[in-house]
Amino acid sequence: MVARTVSAVTNESLPARRLLLVHAHPDDEVIGTGATMAHYVSEGAHVTLVTCTLGEEGEIHVPELSQLAAAEADQLGGYRLVEWQRACTALGVTDHRILGGPGRYRDSGMMGLPTNQHPRAFWGADLDEAAAHLVAIIREVRPQVMITYDANGFYGHPDHIQAHRVAMRAAELAGADGPEKIYWSAMPLSVMQDGMEAFRESEGNPFSEVEKVEDLPFGTPDAEIAARIDGTDHSAKKTAAMRAHATQIPDNSWLYGIAGDFGGEFMGLEYYTLVQGERGPGSGPFQWEDDLFAGLEIKE
């Protein structure tokens, strides 16, 4: 039975600190922000996850489920919805919603594929119509902080680019009800460099085709990073949530290798640039914040 996503809540019943995350597909929430989500849930903040598609066009790394693929029974979206709910349970997130309701916006597939033209492809969504769905959630929950992707969608996937556009447009349309601080997921170049060194001799090295980190479609100079969230206490929850996304993250994925080679430290640290709002107090050479709510006046 597919559990209901969280029904509408009134912000009067919510904790003082409220974080909104806008992601493109089921599994993005854990890969880029899973430790952050678990961290803030454990700190008593309210975490609202909005995912824009069901990931219908994804690969299937579980052979016995291959018939669910878009080109077969086209049931992968429904299956990934359940994976996504299980992942949210592993992270402790109870307020999780699909933008416009399950099936409203379809996974567009990788950039340039014919699936980009599907009538319900998120890539072709009307921006203000899609943003209006998110404005309604913002007005209901009143998050002080929002996380999404940069204008390239972190790595250029059309649904990630569109999730960025919809999130930023919704924050603009929400006006005074919108988040005070907006962050974009980021990966510091220094961390990527360390990853390249660590994986140099590893089997399944994800960096094997890469000469230097600057050749990758993502990566941010350390000086442009604004926050590092330490969710290492929750690395096991992040790993459990990744395992929930078995169709997308196979057991031999390099992501688990990172957990092994780098330990919980790498998996539990997540980084962000700040694109709206004032930066709060920080530490280290670049004064990175360790709290996304830093500098905000939170009315308890």
**Encoding tokens for residue 83?**
């994976």
270 lines the binding site for ligand LKMZNTP5 (CB under 6 A): no
| 25 assigned ligand-binding residue | yes
Q: How far apart are CA 278 and CA 296, in angstroms?
A: 8
Q: Between the CA of residue 7 and those of 2, 38, 140, 142, what are the distances in Å?
A: 14, 21, 11, 16
Binding site for Zn ion (CB under 5 A): 24-25, 28
Give the separation between CA 286 and CA 288, rounded to whole angstroms.
Answer: 6
What stretches of the chain adopt beta strand conformation (E)? 18-23, 46-51, 95-98, 145-148, 181-186, 227-230, 269-276
Among Zn ion, ligand LKMZNTP5, none, residue 95 binds (CB under 5-8 Å by kind): none
DSSP symbols for 36-103: HHHHHHHTT-EEEEEE----TT-----GGGGGGSTTTT--HHHHHHHHHHHHHHHHT--EEEETTSTT
Q: How far is the CB of 107 from ligand LKMZNTP5 (least distance, A)?
A: 5
The CA distance from 143 to 281, in Å, is 20
**By Cβ distance, which residue is nearest to Zn ion?**
25
Among 43, 59, 224, 278, binds ligand LKMZNTP5 (CB under 6 A): 59
Q: Interaction with ligand LKMZNTP5 in 228-267: which residues (CB under 6 A)? A: 248
| Interface with ligand LKMZNTP5 (CB under 6 A), residue from 107, 270, 289, 291 | 107
- Looking at the chain, how many residues does it have? 300
Which of 29, 289 has the CB closer to ligand LKMZNTP5?
29
| Smallest separation (angstroms) from Zn ion to the CB of 242 | 14
Output 28 or 95, the one with its CB closest to Zn ion.
28
The nearest distance, CB 58 to Zn ion, in angstroms, is: 9
- CA atoms of 21 and 67, how far apart (whole Å): 31
Stretch that binds ligand LKMZNTP5, among 14-22, 27-35, 197-205, 210-218 (CB under 6 A): 27-35
Region binding ligand LKMZNTP5 by CB under 6 A among candidate stretches 23-31, 125-133, 231-239, 285-293:
23-31
Residues of this chain that bind ligand LKMZNTP5 (CB under 6 A)? 25, 27-28, 31, 55, 57-59, 107, 109-110, 157, 248
